[in-house]
């Protein structure tokens, strides 16, 4: 089992460019999450999903969109990247909302 995978691992964007981060999990989890981690701060929840076809806003959703067309995939989109979105992005999934979260390896995004 691969667990939670993220694509790509690294990316450099110019301000205004768009991109999509892909998260995939093979554990049949209902719940999936996107976090961002900035220096000196804990992980902050961007968006989450409680099942296929559902998404909801987290703590810091502005500038991001998400989609969960298939249960195993959770996509995070940046329509017009800004330098403030330079961060490390983590995807996670869990069986229940209060259970252990399984994390992907992270995507390091730099916006110039």
Residues 78, 20: Cα–Cα separation, whole Å:
6
The DSSP 8-state label assigned to residue 71 in this structure reads: T
For residue 26, the minimal CB distance to another protein (Å) is 15
Q: Does 97 bind another protein (CB under 8 A)?
A: yes
**In whole angstroms, how close is the CB of 16 to another protein at the nearest point?**
30
Return the sign of the alpha-carbon dihedral for residues 43, 70, 81, 17: positive
Contact positions toward another protein, by CB under 8 A? 4, 31, 33, 35, 40-45, 48, 50, 56, 58-59, 90, 97-98, 100-106
């Amino acid at each position: 089992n691969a667990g939670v995978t993220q694509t790509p691992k690294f990316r450099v964007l110019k301000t205004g460019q768009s991109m999509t981060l892909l998260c995939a999990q093979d554990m049949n989890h209902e719940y999936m999450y996107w976090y961002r981690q900035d220096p000196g701060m804990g992980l902050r929840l961007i968006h989450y999903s409680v099942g296929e076809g559902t998404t909801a806003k987290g703590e810091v959703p502005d500038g991001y969109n998400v989609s969960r067309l298939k249960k195993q995939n959770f996509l995070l989109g940046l329509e017009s990247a800004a330098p403030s979105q330079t961060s490390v992005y983590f995807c996670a999934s869990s069986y229940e909302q209060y259970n252990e979260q399984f994390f992907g390896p992270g995507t390091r995004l730099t916006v110039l």
